[in-house]
Amino acid sequence: MSAWFTVAVSPKVGSLAAVTSTLASAGIAVEGVMGAPEADGSLHLGVPDAQLPAAIAALTTLGLHPITEESDPPMTARTLRIATWNVNGLRARAERVAAWLDAAQPDIVLLQETKCDPSQIPEGLFSTRSYEVAALGAGGRNGVLIASRHGLADVQESIADYAPQGSDATLPDLLSEPRLLSAVCGGLRVASVYAPNGREVDAPHFHAKLHWYGALRAWSAARIAEPAPLLLGGDFNVAPTDADVWDPAALVGATHVTPRERDAWNALVDLGLLDAAQAVAADGERAPFTWWDYRGGAFHRGWGMRIDHLLVESRAGALVTSSVDRDGRKGESPSDHAALTIDVARPA
Taking each continuous run of H as one helix and of E as one strand, the counts in the chain are 8, 18
Q: Which residues contact 98 (CB under 8 A, 6 or more apart)?
A: 17, 125
Tell me which residue of 30, 22, 37 sits closest to 3, measured CA to CA: 30
Q: Pseudo-torsion of CA 333, 37, 317, 1, nearest 10°?
A: 120
pLDDT of the residue at 42: 56
CATH classification of 2-73, choosing from 3.90.110.10, 3.30.70.1140, 3.30.930.10, 3.30.70.260? Answer: 3.30.70.260
pLDDT along the chain (348 residues), means of 10: 60 57 76 50 67 80 63 58 98 97 97 97 96 93 96 96 87 96 97 97 96 98 97 98 97 97 98 95 91 96 98 93 96 96 89
The CB-based long-range contact list for 119-125 (8 Å cut-off, 24+ gap) reads 120/91, 121/90, 121/145, 122/90, 122/91, 122/94, 125/94, 125/97, 125/98, 125/101
Q: Please tell me if the domain spanning 2-73 has the same topology as the one spanning 79-345.
A: no
Distances (CA, A) of 189 to 6, 86, 118, 313: 28, 20, 21, 10
pLDDT of the residue at 38: 42
**Residue ranges per structural domain of the chain:** 2-73, 79-345
Amino acid letter at 14? G
Tell me which residue of 48, 2, 1, 5 sits closest to 27, measured CA to CA: 48
- Full-model pTM: 0.79
The alpha helices in the chain, defined as continuous H runs, are 16-25, 37-40, 52-61, 94-104, 204-224, 259-269, 276-279, 298-301
**What homologous superfamily does CATH list for 79-345?**
Endonuclease/exonuclease/phosphatase (3.60.10.10)
Separation of alpha carbons 346 and 92, rounded Å: 34
Cα of first residue to Cα of last residue in the chain, in angstroms, is 20
Tell me which residue of 193, 195, 202 sits closest to 174, measured CA to CA: 195
